[in-house]
Amino acid sequence: MTAQTLRDLLPSASGRTVVVRSDLNVPLDDGRVTDDGRIRASLPVINELAQAGAKVIVLAHLGRPQGTMNPEFSLAPVVERMRQLTDHPVILAEDVAGPASQQAAQQLDSGHVLVIENVRFDARETSQDHTERSELAHAIASLAGDQGAYVNDAFGAVHRKHASVYDIASFLPSYQGPLVATELKVLDQLIVEPQRPYTVVLGGSKVSDKLAVIDNLLDRADTLLIGGGMAYTFLKAQGHNVASSLLEEDQLPVVKEYLQRSAAGAANIVVPIDTFVADAFHQDADHAVVSVDAMTTGPGGADALGLDIGPETARLYAQQIEASATVFWNGPMGVFEMENFATGTKTVAEALTRVNGLSVVGGGDSAAAVRAFGFSDEDYGHISTGGGASLEYLEGKALPGIDALTN
């Protein structure tokens, strides 16, 4: 069964209340949005509905407030940024489907936007109990009235069986938003007959976060380039001394298995040949570039920390990326937030802009990195709005938020 889309809803949207699940989980610093990429990505569907005369109610989460009203995770800074980016009036209700939301929904005018507070302020949003989630979903759906509708445009949340993502679709006519549709279309190009050569670049801190996607892509991709903290588990599995670098000892057996599969004809797994090591996890720490065979010879000695792929590795990775027709990248190559250890991530980000084919930045830290380096979204074929959801889809897992729209 195919999900209904926003195109199916728009002709009848005027005067109706439409609940939109958006992904507004953006980074904040001192109460200010530091990367508004997800806000900008979420606004088109909101604007289109408001322009069509709908009364728009936006649902979103921010961080993990553990089911309590924590001002640190309020959507107020997000709403302030939304007001700067749209011509439609945007109101913030200070509760989740409580009296403030109910009153604001009743008074909402066509073409106006109501954002209800962080849905995770209500513990029922993420409850494992179906009844509890359904209670919250019903309360939110009730804000829309008898002619209400629901649009899921939050791809970054579709892998969660949460009240505002999954259960609410049982109470309102439901539609797939354009962000979700675009994500699925792009990701399908990565797993269904991708253009070759097909290279996957994986980084980030923990190899355990990427095991399932590695397992699935080993038989689909041509090359896997490994960086970030997870690279040191691969290096250890090859017999290298990684000093005090990030290491998941319990994952060594499965990593060795992946390396064996690669050697037997699966995708070619490429690991760093040089690395930046430092004597402390700090921007100004004493650091140097060393071969991965000599990590204990640099600053820190036996206690050295590997914090970025080295320049020779970055050069080789860039060559591989630029020679590919399809590239998927998820996870930084080093601690890119620190200037001294950002070279690998920046080199990969720049190489992806030169891909003559499909280049996909897999959300999360990778998306934040390309923007921090000054690259534009238009420099890439696609920047995912959902890192975790993207990985689970590439792992072959069912996504509850997608299933809810077709059930």
Question: Is 388 a catalytic site residue?
Answer: yes
Question: Is 38 a catalytic site residue?
Answer: yes
Angle, to 10 degrees, between the axis of helix 364-372 and the axis of helix 387-395? Answer: 130
Q: Greatest CA separation found in the chain? A: 70
> Can you tell me the distance from the alpha carbon of 22 to that of 377, in angstroms, rounded to the nearest whole number?
19
Q: How many residues does the chain have?
A: 407
- Smallest CA-to-CA distance from 349 within 326, 313, 385, 322 is with 322
The strand pair at 90-93 and 32-33 is best described as unpaired
Question: Is 206 a catalytic site residue?
Answer: yes
**Residue 373 near residue 349, CB atoms below 8 Å:** yes
DSSP state of 199: E
Residues of the binding site for ATP: 210, 306, 337, 363-366
Q: Of these residues, 364, 386, 387, 401, which one is catalytic?
A: 364
Decide: residue 219, CB within 10 A, 0-12 exposed, 13-18 middle, 19+ buried: exposed
Mention every residue, 6+ apart, whose C-beta is less than 8 A from residue 166.
133, 160, 400, 401, 403, 404
Q: Of these residues, 40, 83, 206, 256, which one is catalytic?
A: 206
Residues of the binding site for substrate: 23-25, 38, 61-64, 120, 160
Residues of the binding site: 23-25, 38, 61-64, 120, 160, 210, 306, 337, 363-366
DSSP state of 257: H
Q: Of these residues, 21, 38, 236, 346, which one is catalytic?
A: 38
DSSP state of 60: -
> Can you tell me the distance from the alpha carbon of 370 to that of 362, in angstroms, rounded to the nearest whole number?
11
> Can you tell me the distance from the alpha carbon of 272 to that of 320, in angstroms, rounded to the nearest whole number?
13
Question: Is 177 a catalytic site residue?
Answer: no
> Can you tell me the distance from the alpha carbon of 189 to that of 195, in angstroms, rounded to the nearest whole number?
8
Q: What amino acid positions are annotated as catalytic residues?
A: 38, 206, 364, 388
